[in-house]
Structure 1
Amino acid sequence: MQQRMDISQAAPQGYQAVIGLEKYVRANVDPTLLHLIKLRASVVNGCAFCVDMHSTEALKDGEQGRRLFAVSAWRESPFFSEVERAALELTDEVTALGEHGVTDQVWAAAQDAFSDKELADIILAISTINVWNRVAVSTHLQPPAL
């Protein structure tokens, strides 16, 4: 598969706007939680570039490989805290909005796990990785060769 377009070159101002969101979430969301959110949304969206990038970054930052592998089956995995589970469930529902939106049950669990500010920042993090996933998948952005 060949990359179709480099959006950073075709629409540099738009690309920089997304970079601004990325900088915000990196500064405001716990790094471990952010890695899990980015990886989970990327798995759900089938974004090979982002799965590669975010798993590689998480490993560099000290995350355990077993937890990263388990993100694809997090519901059945014992490796995640209740707070991480709330974030992963919210990630699944925000990423797949067309199926049923965010259910009241998932929202309540997220409200129990996070302050309003933390929850707002997590929603922005989920939204941002979904933008990146859509850019990468639609343009056929490929991970670097092994």
Structure 2
Amino acid sequence: MQARMDNPAAFLPDSIKAINILYKSAHSVGVDPKILELVHLRASQINGCAPCVESGARAARAAGETDERLFTVAVWRETPWFSAAERAALALAEHATRLADSPDAVPDAIWDEAARHFGEKELAALVLWIATTNFFNRINVTTRQQAPENWG
């Protein structure tokens, strides 16, 4: 399959500045980078975004992720390798990505479990990062960006 066009951000240089600000904001409050990479990878898997799955797995590995965990992010509930905080973040990512699957897209139980493990600023960073990941996914899937994508 061939991309329909270059990444739209290449045509709109101001958008790159905004994307960089979102990225820096989400990564600035101290959420473990591994958790941010895991939620990015999981949302990207759900959305079928090849460049984000590929870059997400690479970034997670660079952040210290193990192969066992990377290979099983899609089935995290069925493995022993994720902490309670990581599970809460992954559940939040799944629910915030699959908004149309339920009339109560992010149930209180999912939110409350995430809030048990993350403070308000950390939750804000997680929500912003999940939303930003979904933003990336929608651009890439719509324009059929291919993996590996040249991000730099």
TM-score, length of structure 2 as denominator length: 0.89
Aligned length: 145
* 1:25 corresponding residue in structure 2: 26
1:121 matches 2:125:
yes
Note the C-alpha offset of 1:55: 0.4
Unaligned runs of 5+ in 1: none
* Cα RMSD for the two superposed structures: 1.4
Note the C-alpha offset of 1:12: 2.2
Deviation >3 Å, runs of 4+: none
Q: Deviations over 1:33-64 (max 9, x none)?
A: 11101100011111111111110121123210
Question: Which residues of 2 match residues 1-146 of structure 1 at below 5 A?
Answer: 1-5=1-5, 6-28=7-29, 29-100=31-102, 101-144=105-148
Q: Following the alignment from structure 1 to structure 2, what is the Cα–Cα distance between the partners of residues 144 and 83?
A: 30
Unaligned runs of 5+ in 2: none
Q: Following the alignment from structure 1 to structure 2, what is the Cα–Cα distance between the partners of residues 125 and 9?
A: 21
What amino acid is aligned across from residue 4 of structure 2 in structure 1?
Answer: R
Residues 58-67 or 68-77, more deviating: 58-67
Q: Which has the higher helix share?
A: 1
- Identity among equivalent pairs (%): 43
SS at match of 1:143: coil
What amino acid is aligned across from residue 36 of structure 2 in structure 1?
Answer: L
TM-score, length of structure 1 as denominator length: 0.93
